[in-house]
Homo-oligomer: A and B are copies of this chain.
């Protein structure tokens, strides 16, 4: 890889239940000043618009904190930690995050956006739709904004992928000293999601970014659920 270029896709309209995201993205990219999509581009799509398109908005009573809290518990398979208003839960997909990934920003007042039911499948649907329109494959990463233990500040991570590896295994590759690297499973999907966040910004509401120039070797079918979600048996922090 010699050069990576990342830009926000402007001009994507309001997304409602039933909106076909691939259509919106293809139209917006066709008129982008950065030019049309190319094979091997990675599109990072924020969870918020995927949830909206898939009808994952639910009404809550904004004046009643219990309304939000009940929803968080309903979407959780397990409460991992709780302190005051902060609830860290495990979702059905195996994500461990605040409030079961439910969030109220960039959503109409009185509504909350739940996570997609299966974000890998959501990514594949967008990829398939774009392939039909473009005649070639682009990779899709559905991203969300998570906190982390020990480190302040949120970062964007991948919750679903299509057409790109989630984790790239470099075990057995020689390092620059000719030694075999010991632990080199790199979560490129999370790194690409983070990179895309840098051009989208939380406040500006741009929900899609293009990442051009990733290593073509990463462009195989991937899955966040099977590659990134750590099985409980291998996890020291549950």
Which residues of A approach B to under 8 Å, CB–CB?
1-8, 34, 81, 83, 86, 88, 95-96, 98, 104-109, 145, 148-157, 166-168, 170, 173-177, 179, 181-192, 194-195, 197-199, 201-205, 213-215, 227-230, 234-238
**Distance between Cα atoms of A105 and B157 in the complex (Å):** 26
- CB A93 to nearest CB in B, in angstroms, measures 12
Q: Which residues of B contact A167 (CB under 8 A)?
A: 152-153
Q: Which of B34, B181, B185 contacts A203 (CB 8 A)?
A: B181
Pairwise interchain contact A154-B185, C-beta atoms closer than 8 A: yes
Residues of B within 8 A of A188 (CB): 153, 198
Q: Are B148 and A1 in contact (CB under 8 A)?
A: no
B190 near A202: Cβ-Cβ < 8 Å: no
A153–B223 CA distance with the chains assembled, in angstroms: 13
Assembly CA distance A176 to B49 (angstroms): 13
Q: A3-B7, A105-B181, A174-B203 are in contact. Are A237 and B149 (CB under 8 A)?
A: yes
B184 adjacent to A191 (CB under 8 Å)? no
Beyond A151-B157, A154-B183, A175-B203: 6 further Cβ-contacts under 8 Å? A1-B199, A81-B237, A95-B150, A98-B183, A170-B203, A176-B203
Most interface-central of A95, A145, A150, A190 (chain B CB within 10 A): A150
- Chain B positions within 8 Å of A228 at CB level: 151-153
Please name 28 pairs of A and B residues whose Cβ atoms are closer than 8 Å in the assembled complex, sorted by A: A1-B8, A3-B6, A5-B5, A6-B195, A81-B236, A96-B150, A104-B179, A106-B176, A106-B179, A149-B230, A149-B237, A150-B230, A150-B238, A151-B228, A151-B230, A152-B227, A153-B166, A153-B185, A154-B183, A154-B186, A155-B186, A174-B203, A176-B203, A176-B205, A186-B202, A190-B194, A192-B198, A198-B214
